[in-house]
Structure 1
Amino acid sequence: MTQENILIINCGSSSLKFAVINPQDGDEKISGVAERLSTPEAFVRWKFQGNKDMVEMPAAGHFEVFGKLLDVLKETNLFDTIGGIGHRVVHGGETFKESCLVTDEVVQGIEDCIHLAPLHNPAHLVGIRAAIEYFPGLKQATVFDTAFHQTMPERAYIYAVPYEYYEEQRLRRYGMHGTSYRYVSAKAAEMLGLDLSNSAILVAHLGNGASAAAVLNGESVDTTMGLTPLEGLVMGTRSGSLDPNVFSFLNKTYGYTLEEITDILNKKSGLLGISGLSNDCRAIEEAAAEGNRRAQLALDVFCYVLAKQLAGLAVALGRIDALAFTGGIGENSDLIRKKVLELMGVFGFDMSDELNEKFRFGNEGVITNEGSTVAMVVATNEELMIAQDTAALIG
């Protein structure tokens, strides 16, 4: 049997997402997720040929889930079709500027970046080591969220703090969602008939985690996320950028510790914090339509901050060939897109209500009228990028 497929692994601190994808045509053979790992409620669910299955695995960790994954792949006759494994890794620091095969040196490099992503990189390392144990004959590759942004110029990534912090600890803006930006900017240029090497594209990757980036001639020149995913846009539960003295204010006013404040800004803020209802944009849109004032405010703040930061990113491009919306919210919320484009009218966006409503739920296309600065919807596919990178690296 031909080993034509790639197993994609994305380990979080308490979750593990997986998929088997053909890198040539993007066909997804199976996909699944394990959640609430290392708790009594841990479970794994997957979808294969339209059928959904789930099994409870109380207290299971990543290694136990890999054992179950191996069983599922054998039961579905997919195991022998897998030619390699591709791992999503959040943070590669300045060490990794492109995807690479897993070696002892690469594992050490990911370990060296743990202080930059203490919640993510340890989980990725667990996934890599578990994959080596359960799939010993397969080559593995790592694809870094930060790698695409390593083309940013110094003026875009240096923070205005004592320079020795950068020299000694590499304190700087790194950005995330790079794999998505690489895919979406190339796809947008292709859809518009543009030469990617002579293009200026803004991309808004909007989901529970949200960021935006300026992609000039196929390379990232600026982005909104920073040292960590907390900087930048308002998100589902993250505050985005704010006055750094908020930490001191909350400490002195409420007595919160540094760890408690960090937890609040990462897990209890954003759309959830403003609305008091949910981090799910769909639920907030429904509540806003019913007249809930705080839900309306949450949407207004989300869209205003996004429009303002997109406008700032335009400085890095010099012109706008297209603004591409992607991610769960960007691809599906015609309301968010409408509000953002209205706020950015100074850039010449003239949105078509009909096209904006048409291009949702997997449908892609331009949502502005002829003669307008182009805004469009592009469905991201990070898994396909990981599969293609892995296939190329393992030959």
Structure 2
Amino acid sequence: METTQHRVVATGHADWAGTSTQYQYIGPDQNKHAERVSWKGHAEAVRRFITDLLKQKPPALTDLSHLAAVGHRVVHGGDYTTAIQITPDVRSRIEQLRTLAPLHNPPSLETLAAAEAELPNLPHIATFDTAFHSTLPPKAYTYPIPMKWTRDWGIRRFGFHGLSHAYCSNQATNMLDRPRDELRLVICHLGHGCSAAAVQGGRCLDTTMGFTPLDGLMMATRSGSIDPGILEYVQNNHGLSAEQVGHSLNHDSGLLGVSEISGDLRQLEEAANDGHELAQLAIGIYVHRIRQAIGALTVTLGGIDALIFTAGVGENSSGIRRLICSDLECLGLELDTEANTACQPDADIATKSSRGRILVIATREDLTMVREIQAIIDLSSQGPGGVPQVTVSKSNDKLPGISNS
């Protein structure tokens, strides 16, 4: 990506969840090159993408010396509140957090190792999904547990999807053409993982995800918030180990667990329309919990100026948006049904008479990453035509892989 005009030069994606790897590369001419390949793993994905940057026609880069830095999305950054250049100490601290984000930090570390091996002379910068939520006040981030756990073990609410929430906060300010300081936003990041955040004046005041990305809203395969007594019960009365419980809550719960069909809302909406009762129940729980969160976060803000939908489900499912916005007139939010159905992000889908706006924003975590990286790297290293280039790696939220832009 060019760091001045924020123009994406090339993207690559590898998905090896199936029996073979699906690899896709899109170059500067926007032509898509897709194929099945025999290799799997982060190292091979990194090597292939770097080769394509140089060898595909037209080449995205004429020489790797045009790269200024490599940026890495790291989901759990612990106490890090800003992006930081990765050193052995930083890598060690990220490694220590891998058990708190088991679906995310391990792939990030594997991608980092592969990228450092291929591009050893470039600065590698970590950007954190937790950093945006570092503005949470103590009453929001402190759990009502023994203070020793908080003080000595660092157990607190961190929050996630911060790169997305930060981008949507900035984009909403532009779309509404109002001073950031006066805006009260509730942002719903609804994808494979889901979280909502209360943002006032560009600062996060509360968010639904917590110590780990397992907390909060119901997700594709993650449970979200449940009674902690359930964990004690299934271990003591049904013989489940802590490891089995953790696996079930991360991989076998949420939409998949309730519906027993899929964690993909597109499939569940089709099944629900065909009368599948568990698919209908799963969607009902999903919508119910999101609506609860919107109400709670609106109270935290003392009102709402805009409700924002983003990420895969939030941007693309008019049906889910319609269900969530049903009867939100009590919060001053009135959905325009036709605008919602025809929506192409970025768009305002509230009625003209609605006191608060309802926005659908195509999230750009890569832009947030580049802006943070720009604040750290020495931009004297120039790319073609005097434009610095940054390679960005983002481990897929659902599947192991690499998505570079």
Shared fold (TM-score greater than 0.5)?
yes
Distance 1:43 1:288 in 2: 30
Secondary structure of 2:326's partner? Answer: helix
Q: In 2, Cα distance between the equivalents of 1:236 and 1:119? A: 13
Q: Report if the CA contact (8 A) 1:203-1:213 is conserved.
A: yes
| Cα pair distance change 1:174/1:127, threshold 3 Å | same
Q: CA deviation at 1:209?
A: 0.5
Q: Which amino acid aligns with 2:83?
A: S
Displacement of 1:55 in angstroms is: 4.5
Structure 1 residue 375 displacement after superposition: 1.3
Matches within 5 A, 1:244-393: 244-360=228-344, 362-393=345-376
For the residues of structure 1 that align with 2:44 and 2:336, how far apart are their CA atoms?
50
- Give the residue type in structure 2 aligned to 1:92: G
Cα offset for 1:114?
Answer: 3.2
SS in 2 for 1:52: strand
Q: Which of 76, 92, 106 is residue 91 of structure 1 equivalent to? A: 76
Could you tell me how far apart the structure 1 residues matched to 2:92 and 2:238 are?
Answer: 40
Task: Check 1:331–1:43 CA distance in 2 against 1; reply closer, same or farther (3 A cut).
Answer: closer
**1:329-388 Cα deviation digits (max 9, x unpaired):** 11111111111111433212211111111214x442243332432211111100121122
How many positions carry a matched residue from both structures? 371
- Aligned: 1:170 with 2:149: no
How many Å apart are 1:210 and its aligned residue? 0.5
State the distance in 2 between where 1:40 and 1:279 align. Answer: 20
Give the structure 2 partner of residue 65 of structure 1.
45
Tell me: CA distance 1:137–1:316, structure 2 relative to 1, closer, same or farther (3 Å).
same
Deviation of 1:23 after TM superposition, in Å, equals 3.2
The range that moved more, 194-203 or 287-296, is 287-296
The answer (yes or no) to whether the contact 1:275–1:298 under 8 Å persists in 2 is yes
Taking structure 1 as the reference length, the TM-score comes to 0.88
For the residues of structure 1 that align with 2:116 and 2:216, how far apart are their CA atoms? 36
Structure 1 counterpart of 2:206: 222
CA–CA separation in structure 1 for the residues paired with 2:146 and 2:26: 50
Match runs of 1:7-18 below 5 Å: none
- Secondary structure in 2 aligned to 1:29? coil
Do 2:76 and 2:128's aligned partners in 1 also have CA atoms closer than 8 Å? yes
Comparing 125-134 with 305-314, greater Cα deviation is found at: 125-134
2:109 alignment partner in structure 1: 125
C-alpha separation in 2, matches of 1:102 and 1:165: 28
Structure 2: how far apart are the matches of 1:275 and 1:116? 26
Counterpart of 2:33 (choices 30, 44, 52) is 52
2:347 maps to a residue whose letter is E
Are 2:172 and 1:192 aligned? no
Offset of residue 180 of structure 1: 0.3
Work out the CA distance in 1 between the residues paired with 2:307 and 2:346.
16
SS of the residue 2:376 aligns to: helix
Deviation at 1:217, TM superposition (A): 0.7
Q: 1:12 maps to which residue?
A: none
Tell me: higher relative CO, structure 1 or 2? Use CA pairs within 8 A at least 6 residues apart: 2
Instruction: Give CA-to-partner distance per residue, 1:164-183, whole Å, 9 cap, x none.
Output: 11111101111100000000
One-letter amino acid matched to 1:364: A
Cα deviation code 1:63-106 (max 9, x no counterpart): 23322222222113224343221100011111x10112223332
**1:250-308 superposed Cα distances (whole Å, 9 cap, x missing partner):** 22443222111211111111111122211111111112122222222111111110000
- Cα distance between partner residues in 1 of 2:191 and 2:92: 31
2:258/2:278 contact within 8 Å kept? yes
Counterpart AA for 2:33: K
Q: Distance in 2 between matches of 1:314 and 1:382?
A: 24
Instruction: Give the unaligned 5+ runs of structure 2.
Output: 380-405
In structure 2, relative to structure 1, the CA distance for the partners of 1:118 and 1:301 (3 Å cut) is: closer
Cα distance change, pair 335–53 in 1 and its aligned pair in 2 (3 A): closer
Is the 8 Å Cα contact of residues 184 and 301 (structure 2) preserved in structure 1? yes
Partner of 2:20: 41
Return the alpha-carbon distance in structure 1 between the equivalents of residues 110 and 251 of structure 2. Answer: 23
Aligned to 2:9: 29
Query: Which TM-score applies when normalising by structure 2?
Result: 0.86
Aligned CA RMSD, in angstroms, stands at: 2.0
